[in-house]
Amino acid sequence: MANDLLHIPRIDILVELFKRRRFDPFVIKDGKKHLKQEQSLFILTDKETKEFAYGGAAGGAKSWTGCVWLVMACLAYPGTRWFIGREELKRLRASTYQTFLKVCKAYGVNKDNHWDYNGQDHFIQFHNGSRIDMLDLKFVPRDPYYERYGSVEYTGGWIEEGGEVNFGAYDTLKSRVGRHLNDKYGLLGRIFVTLNPKKNWCHTVFWKPFKAGQLPDKVKFLQALVQDNPFIDPGYIDNLMSITDKVKKQRLLYGNFDYDDDDNALMEYDSINDIFTNEFVVEGKKYITADIARFGSDKSVVMVWNGLRVVEIRKFEKMRTTKVADEIEKIRNKYGIPLSHVVVDEDGVGGGVVDKLDGCHGFVNNSAPIDNPQDQQQQNYKNLKSQCYYMLAERINDHKIFVRCDDYEMRELLSEELEQVKKWDADNDKKLEVMPKKVVKELLGRSPDYSDTLMMRMFFELKPEQRWQIF
Ligand SMILES: Nc1ncnc2c1ncn2[C@@H]1O[C@H](COP(=O)(O)OP(=O)(O)O)[C@@H](O)[C@H]1O
Ligand SMILES: [Mg+2]
């Protein structure tokens, strides 16, 4: 056997080894082995994993790994069809394609001898009939469900920098793999996602269930940090160490998914965490805020306030609105809170509760901002909800809110939702607006019921109390 192999060109040996899942030539260099990379190649060629996320920090060899997988798969299985997708085609070509060239060079897969690049339609055509499409995964409003890729049949594919890619692209492409020669070669339809930490679908689909040990068998996540990569230039790590931006450093060097780097976020990550320990916030008048279950959510949330302290959070699941109104009545009587200190969201089904609790306030998200001389910016808000969220952000950043909550899952949900409160500038009309609920829901995969309930408390900060003067 060894003698036979001596007569065939080196690349054929590499392909043969790849097919036999012997990855040493791809993961060993100068006597050092990238163990995570080897592990990831095992996962990319197993018979179980349909979705595989790799990386979670800079320099872990994400791009190299993706390129090795596709180059070798293309050569090993003639006629197969693959894709590499990224949010921007330009960056795919400027960065990922450059790694592709390096990988080809390293393993002797010469351009011209083995493949050509079609620069007009952006695909790599191998001479054995295999092909890799370069996909532009940018979100375009006229094609929100990525129907432009809805009928292409792929063997498998790779989403590069999943944190930048819209959920719809992943969702559509997932259903396009496993459709081209997979049976012939016994290959599983598989999607590979390389990523840096980001609070988008990658967080929900991979990171969170991974951390909780709840990933299904067919989904895997393998974290690779720069420290796991023995081939990295030492200067590269120094550069990452010297990043001054705390959030960026947490993400790119330590692979911390729980930090967000979105400049548009209204509240600071640390300040959000602090709300649960700001015991010093003083007591004051008592209020109730309530978010009532509606479409897309079957949970109602009620918060009891003493000043800017949340002293109790109640969650009611799958409960009729009339019953929720009864519960609010009970809470009101327990704490001695007048109806005029109760606010309930009035959109959709919440209106029924407002009617039943005759005398409480209804909160209409899209209504006009409240005229309040204390609030300098008031003319500029898109609506009441945006005004209240901006005000809440200010209070949270100033450590003026305290939330008593011993339920850690609830804490995590609330924190996640608050991190999604972001500036939004859809109409470019200079009005201050927060990211619409539709988008938040898509990012979180649920309705932000806890943060909305917290936000509504600002209604009472804005609305001066009625004082009757008797002459
Ligand atoms: N198997 C390998 N052999 C040689 N060099 C590698 C290998 N894997 C990764 N590298 C090198 O490690 C560095 C980081 O890899 P890259 O794939 O660009 O990381 P990431 O995409 O995670 O930021 C690059 O300089 C790349 O050339
Ligand atoms: Mg990369």
CATH number for position 117: 3.40.50.300
Q: Please give the Cα distance from 390 to 66 (Å, whole number).
A: 42
30 found inside a domain: yes
Residue 2: is its pLDDT beyond 60? no
Instruction: Give the pLDDT confidence score for residue 1 in this predicted structure.
Output: 45
Specify whether 329 is located in the same domain as 200.
no
Given pLDDT bands bounded at 50, 70 and 90, which one contains residue 376?
A: low
Specify whether 139 is located in the same domain as 169.
yes
Total domains in the chain come to: 2
Specify whether 202 is located in the same domain as 327.
no
Specify whether 309 is located in the same domain as 184.
no
Q: Which atom of ligand 1 is nearest to the CA of 68?
A: 1
Given pLDDT bands bounded at 50, 70 and 90, which one contains residue 8?
A: low
Which residue minimizes the CA distance to atom 13 of ligand 1?
232
Which residue minimizes the CA distance to atom 1 of ligand 1?
27
Q: How far is CA 362 from the centre of its chain?
A: 32
228 found inside a domain: yes
Q: Please give the Cα distance from 316 to 282 (Å, whole number).
A: 28
280 found inside a domain: yes
Instruction: Say how many Å lie between the CA of residue 231 and the centre of ligand 1.
Output: 7
Instruction: Say how many Å lie between the CA of residue 89 and the centre of ligand 2.
Output: 14
Instruction: Say how many Å lie between the CA of residue 57 and the centre of ligand 1.
Output: 12
471 found inside a domain: no
Q: Which of 44-48, 305-309, 428-432 has the lowest mean pLDDT?
A: 428-432
Instruction: Say how many Å lie between the CA of residue 331 and the centre of ligand 2.
Output: 54
Pocket of ligand 1 (CB under 6 A): 26-27, 29, 34, 37, 55, 58-64, 99, 229, 231-232
Q: Please give the Cα distance from 431 to 421 (Å, whole number).
A: 16
Which residue minimizes the CA distance to atom 25 of ligand 1?
232
pLDDT tens for 322-334 read: 899 999 999 999 9
CB neighbours of residue 111 within 10 Å: 12
Specify whether 84 is located in the same domain as 216.
yes
Instruction: Give the pLDDT confidence score for residue 156 in this predicted structure.
Output: 98
Instruction: Give the pLDDT confidence score for residue 279 in this predicted structure.
Output: 96
* Cβ < 5 A residues, ion ligand 2: 62-63
105 found inside a domain: yes
Highest mean pLDDT among 49-53, 225-229, 314-318, 354-358 belongs to 49-53
Number of H helices, E strands in the chain: 21, 16
217 found inside a domain: yes
Specify whether 303 is located in the same domain as 203.
no
Residue 169: is its pLDDT beyond 50? yes
Given pLDDT bands bounded at 50, 70 and 90, which one contains residue 349?
A: low
Specify whether 64 is located in the same domain as 164.
yes
Q: Which atom of ligand 1 is nearest to the CA of 60?
A: 22
Q: Please report, for the domain that includes residue 392, its CATH number.
A: 3.30.420.240
Instruction: Give the pLDDT confidence score for residue 244 in this predicted structure.
Output: 79
Specify whether 165 is located in the same domain as 282.
no
Instruction: Say how many Å lie between the CA of residue 62 and the centre of ligand 2.
Output: 5
pLDDT tens for 230-257 read: 999 989 999 998 887 777 888 899 898 8
Instruction: Give the pLDDT confidence score for residue 74 in this predicted structure.
Output: 98
Specify whether 56 is located in the same domain as 189.
yes
468 found inside a domain: no
Q: Ligand 1 pocket test: pick from 86, 228, 229, 253 the residue with the most ligand atoms within 8 Å of its Cβ.
A: 229
Of the three residues 223, 252, 281, the one that is the final residue of a domain is 252
Specify whether 247 is located in the same domain as 275.
no
The domain in which residue 442 lies consists of 269-462
Of the three residues 252, 280, 314, the one that is the final residue of a domain is 252
Which residue minimizes the CA distance to atom 4 of ligand 1?
231
Mean pLDDT across 404-409: 92
- Its pTM stands at 0.66
Instruction: Say how many Å lie between the CA of residue 25 and the centre of ligand 1.
Output: 14
Q: Which atom of ligand 1 is nearest to the CA of 102?
A: 27
Instruction: Say how many Å lie between the CA of residue 217 and the centre of ligand 1.
Output: 28
Instruction: Say how many Å lie between the CA of residue 230 and the centre of ligand 1.
Output: 9
Q: Which ligand is closest in space to the CA of residue 225?
A: 1
Structure tokens at 196: 């840096």
Q: Ligand 1 pocket test: pick from 64, 84, 99, 158 the residue with the most ligand atoms within 8 Å of its Cβ.
A: 64
Of the three residues 188, 220, 252, the one that is the final residue of a domain is 252
Residue 91: is its pLDDT beyond 80? yes
Instruction: Give the pLDDT confidence score for residue 354 in this predicted structure.
Output: 81
132 found inside a domain: yes
The mean of the pLDDT values for the chain is 91
Q: Which ligand is closest in space to the CA of residue 26?
A: 1
Specify whether 313 is located in the same domain as 206.
no
Specify whether 231 is located in the same domain as 309.
no
Q: Ligand 1 pocket test: pick from 231, 236, 237 the residue with the most ligand atoms within 8 Å of its Cβ.
A: 231
Instruction: Say how many Å lie between the CA of residue 104 and the centre of ligand 1.
Output: 13
